[in-house]
Amino acid sequence: MALVAVACFVLNLSVLGQIFNITPSPNAFLAILILANWGRVSYLPWSNTAIENGYQLLGFAGSAVAVWLGIRRHWPGVVNLGSTFFVLYLYTKLFDWFWDWMPKSLFFLLLGLVAVLLLAVMRRLCTRSVETVA
């Protein structure tokens, strides 16, 4: 289900616009994630690489802060949302770094290992959070 969710998420906005007959808009949803990967659509006067790196840093930091705040305040919805965006940013960076030169089976093994590691970290954070409440 997660693979289907990610595949649906990365659909091009123009395809979604054609499906739902929506006129193109510069105010697209999830702007930080989009600009982290396609800096050329930004209005900022910097280079594409600088824009993408800035938005990637902002996205990672924002999602990590959301996870931290959700754990601290016991807001499970915020933890889930922050975790989801952190994983999306992480997987897009892993794709950028490794897809072209790594064998595909090894790439998906790496993604699986990262997923297991993230599950272990989140489980540890969850049990630590439950212990502090009790």
pTM of the model: 0.67
> pLDDT at residue 60 above 80?
yes
Residues in the chain: 134
> pLDDT at residue 119 above 80?
yes
Q: Distance (Å, rounded) from C-alpha 71 to C-alpha 100?
A: 36
Q: Distance (Å, rounded) from C-alpha 68 to C-alpha 71?
A: 5
* Dihedrals phi, psi of 73, to nearest 5 degrees: -95, 0
Q: So what's the pLDDT on residue 109?
A: 92
Per-domain boundaries in the chain: 2-133
> pLDDT at residue 3 above 80?
no
